[in-house]
Amino acid sequence: MKPPVFHGIIAPLKVEAWILGIEKLFKVFPCTETQKVQLVAFTLECDARRWWMLMRNDNKDDTWAHFLEIFYEKYFPQCVRDRKAAEFMELKQGNKSITEYEAQFTELARFAPHMVNTDYKKVRQFEGGLRDPILDKVNVLKLLTYVDVLDRALIAERNVAIHKQNFE
């Protein structure tokens, strides 16, 4: 099994994907906090390796939580995280399909966890971004789970498309 590498670019989604990949490894291969940092240091390449070489003297017996804190300061600054959270709050389906909208919703939701920390909040946030013809068919049902809302939105999208096609 090959651990994911990080080259040191400031690209939020790549940073998050790398972190998720590393944390996935930690679940399979349990290690101490110090070993986690050592493993992560092994996966750093290019600019990220040079950055860590400068940082490691001050962080020799570091924990994973502290590593994440200084890592995020460097490669995923708070202003970028705030921008992603704002993007999530303003997310609308627009011309996207339900599948595309849901993928973007899921991708951005992790930047505003307080807005989706219950199924109720997640459902209302998702519904709030739906196009009106689909929203009209879904929100009257007052569904309580995200899975149910997504399922009904997919059905409504198909029905709206069929209805539109019949009148063209």
> How much is the pLDDT for 166?
85
More confident residue, 142 or 2: 142
Over residues 79-138, the pLDDT tens digits come to 888 999 999 999 999 999 999 999 999 999 988 999 999 999 999 999 999 999 999 999
Residue 114 DSSP label? G
Distance CA 11, CA 23 (A): 18
Global pTM? 0.77
Phi-psi region of 49 (alpha: psi -120 to 50; beta: other; left: phi over 0): alpha
Q: Is the confidence at residue 62, as pLDDT, over 90? A: no
Q: Which burial class, exposed, middle or buried, applies to 1 when counting CB atoms under 10 A from its CB (0-12, 13-18, 19+)?
A: exposed
Q: Is the pLDDT of residue 6 over 80?
A: yes
**Cα 103 from Cα 98, distance rounded (Å):** 8
Q: Is the pLDDT assigned to residue 168 strictly greater than 90?
A: no
Query: Mind listing the pLDDT tens digit for each residue in 139-160?
Result: 999 999 999 999 999 999 999 9
> At residue 1, does pLDDT exceed 90?
no
Report the pLDDT value the prediction gives residue 59, as an integer from 0 to 100: 67
Residues with Cβ within 8 Å of residue 34, at least 6 apart in sequence = 61, 62, 63
Higher pLDDT, residue 66 or 125: 125
For residue range 35-51, list pLDDT tens digits in order: 999 899 999 999 999 99
Q: Any residues with CB less than 8 A from the CB of 124 and at least 6 apart, and which? A: none
User: Is the sign of the CA dihedral 36, 42, 44, 48 positive or negative?
Assistant: positive
If you average pLDDT over residues 9-17, what whole number do you get?
85
Q: In the predicted model, is pLDDT for residue 16 greater than 90?
A: no
Strand partners for 44: 6
